[in-house]
Amino acid sequence: MERGSDKHSARMDEAMRGEVEGLVRSGHDNRAEWNSPEPSGEDQPDVDLVPHGNLVGGVPDGMTERDIEQRSELASFLGRVWPATTEQLLEVATGNAAPERVLDLLRSLDPGRSYATLQEVWAELSGGHIEAHRF
Q: What is the pTM of this model?
A: 0.54
User: Quick check: 92 and 81 in contact, CB under 8 A?
Assistant: yes
78, pLDDT greater than 60:
yes
The whole-number pLDDT of residue 92 equals 94
**Mean residue pLDDT across the chain:** 78
For the segment 86-108, the average pLDDT, to the nearest whole number, is: 93
Give the pLDDT confidence of 29-73 residue by residue, as tens digits: 666 655 666 677 788 776 665 666 655 666 777 777 788 888 889
What distance in Å separates the CA atoms of residue 69 and residue 37, rounded to the nearest whole number? 37
